[in-house]
Structure 1
Amino acid sequence: MICQWCESDTARETSNTVYWELPDGTKVIEIQDTPSIHCLECGITYQTDNTVKEIEDQLFLIDCSKLEKSIMYETLMAAPRLLKRNYFDFAK
């Protein structure tokens, strides 16, 4: 796997705890075990664009008022949605 930052071939899939601001800006939550990439060369740990989009879409589509301060990634992604998809994403 190639690192998006330094282009080294030492990047590996991992999971990490990340902190995310809710779409309404009211608070930040901790998301544990988030799929991530870690580069052994430059030391950066990051999420792919796809993972970022999945998290942002999910947070936009669920009732965030029911979220605790900390949540597992899989639990977040399994939370029931208020809408079927993000109708405000015009990139599709």
Structure 2
Amino acid sequence: MAQTCAWCESEKVTSSKNSVFWELPDGSRAIEIRQTPSITCHSCEMEYQTENTVKVIEDQLFLINTNAVGNEISYEDLMAQPRLLKRNYFDFSSYPGQE
């Protein structure tokens, strides 16, 4: 099945890596995350991240010491940051039986 744009439903989409700006969970500041897996639509020109990528970033930012992260970081380096917890225990959607 061909991938389609979440905004305009065009099939003229490609995988890309883009910079995104993300507010930290504590609301203290925003950071730039470079080389983030993204989708680029060549019809409507939207660049966006999949729901899964958004969840992975949000979980990681919640589970790491964000004081150790500068104003910009690559996606790969962000994902390599050591976690303070093994998982996001406040995300009840990932528990069995939660649809």
2:19 to 3, 14, 17: 17
Cα distance between partner residues in 1 of 2:5 and 2:92 = 28
Deviation of 1:86 (Å):
0.2
Structure 2 regions of 5+ residues with no counterpart? 95-99
Structure 1 regions of 5+ residues with no counterpart? none
Cα distance between partner residues in 1 of 2:82 and 2:74 = 15
Aligned length: 92
2:51 to 44, 49, 52: 49
Instruction: Give, as a single letter, the amino acid of the residue that structure 2 aligns with 1:37.
Output: I
Match of 1:85 in 2: 87
Aligned residues: CA RMSD: 0.4
Q: Secondary structure at the match of 1:54?
A: helix
TM-score of the pair, normalised by structure 2: 0.92
Match of 1:69 in 2: 71
Q: Deviations over 1:4-46 (max 9, x none)?
A: 1100000110000000000000000000000000000000000
Match of 1:28 in 2: 30
1:59 to 58, 61, 85: 61
Deviation of 1:52 (Å):
0.2
Cα distance between partner residues in 2 of 1:55 and 1:18 = 11
Quick check: which has more Rg, 1 or 2? Answer: 2
